[in-house]
A and B are shown apart, each in its own frame.
Chain A
Amino acid sequence: MAWTKKLLRVDLTAGTCTEEALNMDWANDYLGQRGLATRYLVEEVAPTVDPLGPDNKLIMATGPLTGTNASTGGRYSVICKSPLTNAVACSNSGGFFGAEMKMAGWDMVIFEGKAASPVYLHITDGTATLQSADDMWGKSVWEADKILRTKVQDPQTRIAMVGRSAEQGCLYGAVVNDLHRAAGRSGVGTVMASKNLKAVAIRGTLGLNTIKDPKRFQETVKAGKAVLAENAVTGEGLPTYGTQVLMNVINEVGALPTRNMREVQFEGASKVSGEAMHEPRKSDGKPNLTTNGACFSCTIACGRISTIDRTHFSVKDKPEYWINSGGLEYEAAWALGPDTGVDDIDALTYANFLCNEDGMDPISFGSTVAAAMELYEKGAITDSHTGGMELRFGSAEALCWAAEKVAKGEGFGKDLGLGAQRLCEKYGHPELSMTVKGQEFPAYDPRGIQGMGLAYATSNRGACHLRAYTVSSEILGVPEKTDPLVSEGKAGLVKAFQDATAAVDSSGLCVFTTFAWTLDDIAPQIDSACEGNWSPDKMLEVGERIWNLERDFNVKAGIDGSMDSLPKRLLTEGANSGPAKDRVNELDKMLPEYYQLRGWTGSGEVTSDIRQKFNLPS
């Protein structure tokens, strides 16, 4: 149990909302959220479908522990085929929207087709209707949220929405929920906007009472919370500094990609770090960080709630931005900061606000700006393209300008909305695109953290740190320390992380718990809540099944082993400083072993043996 065993199918073309029983055979094989929704996607969508056409589907899915009091049990994911990568997209978000879906009695919502004009879905418990969103289309998430709240009345409604960037076709549009949490990566918001679906508003008052063994569940939940509270990362580092605790650490180990990954250490890192967010600023004596905020049920509370200095050039005439909202987290801070060479924390916070307000993935946005800056430096992009804006590395003005342009899809913002790969191709320098499968890198240079090279190259959604966070082992020593400069042994490490993470992403829990929790902590919580037998081994099996299912979809979509690669820069240009100086990423040493461990063919295809072993659809 713990599932509601119900899904809502919304046919946007026909304008209908239909209740359906959840496929419990699949739930037993794929758990929920990422795994289960991907199983539905594979069943219902051809891998070769046009991601922005009406035949692509968009699934918002919770996990079985979403809505419970298990710590971090509030996650949901958005699954579809990605317009950025043409591979499977699965983006995970916290906030309160996912739990509200569960409280309303739904495990997931499947959107299909395309509405004739802009609509929003309004769910109140068992009732779901599509309503006109004409007056919200063309408005930012923050503006449209106000409009929608006057319509739905109930102030406790939770809302997920797309911004103007996605409406305008920016290929890394996010689905933003609760104003500043987001299913950020791979353009899931762009797919949502392509269906003329502006928002989903949910109010749930039914609650969840289907826990298999309530007494044992509470015991396991309590034990889990104690582990998180006592752990140095989840109990102290993350609450105090958020994920930004990493900025100085990663810079010191020489793995902080800088200026479009030309360098690996940023001289301004400390100025945009988690520590800097605590320092009082000159103008008003207040720090950037107001407080830390939690997602539903989360006892870690890594979220940052920040303000921008009111005297900063980006907002001095814009009182609407003199508010508190979601502040810098590590990946966003890196992409907006070190990768563009900007060390102005207020500029970064402003760009981050705009990414939330208009639903841009800050990783892809920042990385694309970094690529544009290198193209500008080379003379491939000129002032005539930008309308006079000098796109120089380190320019806070250029960063803020770019965020405003992409947010609205105006002028050069259209080009920046293409993502780094398409931008670099358009301007004649594909080699400057720091991407895998069309998706931009996050904040760890794989020359200084070898395992991440393989993790990026083989990630099922393009370059991504959250598919196998080997940083945990290679830098933080969790669950055990490995040498970040050594590629040997990393194939097995990557596979283990990929499988475990796929299972966690399907549970309703947050992957950040795994700084402290192993599957031995997680499995008992699932086992006591859900029917079936959920041992750590079963979790790993489910994770491996999910990984193979995603991979198989991608290969059928034409995203095959030849695309398990890294940009030449990371394979041929040695790191220029720090502990990894002169090293490149040794992907060629890791990849064959990885395929072998996966049981795939030499070209990285899922074999019939594997298909049979995991009962995958043909």
Chain B
Amino acid sequence: MQKSLHIEPGKCTGCLQCESACSLEQEGLFNPAKSRIKVFSFHDEGRYVPYTCTQCDEAWCMTACPVDAITLNPENGSKDVNEDICVGCKVCTIACPFGTINYNSSTGKVVKCNLCGGDPQCADACPTGAITYIDADATGLDKMRAWASKTDNAGA
């Protein structure tokens, strides 16, 4: 079963545990500025929205890379940056429609979510279930169940 990150913004409280967990796993320190998942706070609307790479099947970043530094991880479907090959040209950052692959000026390479090799730490750290790592073919299952439970079949 392939899994994917599933985000439900309505459950997010904006605590940034996901950002700390991501930076700890990927960079070895607490540093939300270096997190690959970002939580956006929309103050006036009272909303928090976690946002990260959704690992497109036909990944525009991967297609755009002129040196083939981004490759498909067949284990979990993530598109991973090979830092040894990346030349820091940033074409992928232009190609990505979602902005979820970014340049890191301190290394001269690009960084993106790699699902932590199949055990995404953001999902593990999220205290409210706003970020989960679930069956990629059934990310809508919980929503379907919730609506199904409201279906009135008394008259059927």
Q: Interface residues, chain A, CB within 8 Å of chain B?
A: 67-69, 71, 96, 99, 103, 156, 179, 204-209, 225, 229, 239, 290-299, 301, 303, 305-307, 323-325
Contacts and interface: CB of A to CB of B under 8 A. Distances in A.
A301 B31 contact: no
B69 interface: no
A324 B45 contact: yes
Given A207-B27, A208-B30, A299 B43 contact: no
A305 B46 contact: yes
Given A294-B15, A297-B15, A299-B15, A209 B43 contact: no
Shortest 7 CB-CB contacts between residues of A and residues of B: A207-B31, A324-B46, A209-B29, A294-B15, A299-B127, A205-B33, A301-B13
Contacts of B17: 69, 297, 299
Contacts of A324: 43-46
Contacts of A303: 13
Contacts of A156: 33
A437 B151 CA distance: 61
Interface of A is mostly: loop
A229 B15 CA distance: 14
B16 A297 contact: yes
A305 B30 CA distance: 27
Contacts of A69: 17, 20-21, 24, 30, 125
B45 A298 contact: no
Contacts of B43: 179, 323-325
A291 B128 CA distance: 13
A301 B11 CA distance: 11
B48 interface: yes
Interface in B18-51: 20-21, 23-24, 27-34, 43-48
Contacts of A96: 16
Contacts of B16: 96, 296-297
A293 B31 contact: no
Nearest to B39: A294
A205 B14 contact: no
Contacts of B13: 239, 291-294, 298, 301, 303
B46 A301 contact: no
Nearest to B42: A324
11 contacts: A67-B30, A99-B32, A207-B33, A208-B30, A290-B46, A293-B13, A298-B15, A299-B15, A299-B127, A323-B45, A324-B43
Nearest to B33: A205
Contacts of A299: 15, 17, 127
A147 B71 CA distance: 44
A290 B128 CA distance: 16
Contacts of B33: 103, 156, 204-205, 207
Given A68-B20, A297-B16, A205 B34 contact: yes
A67 to B, nearest CB: 6
A293 B43 CA distance: 10
Contacts of B46: 290-291, 293, 305-307, 324-325
Interface string B115-128: 00000000001011
B20 A295 contact: no
Given A179-B43, A291-B46, A323-B43, A207 B34 contact: yes
A67 B48 CA distance: 20
Given A69-B125, A225-B127, A307-B46, A295 B31 contact: no
A239 B128 CA distance: 10
A299 to B, nearest CB: 4
Contacts of A71: 127
A291 B10 CA distance: 9
Contact of A207 (B29, B44, B128): B29
A294 B45 contact: no
B130 to A, nearest CB: 11
Nearest to A325: B43
Contacts of A307: 46
A103 B31 contact: yes
A295 B33 CA distance: 17
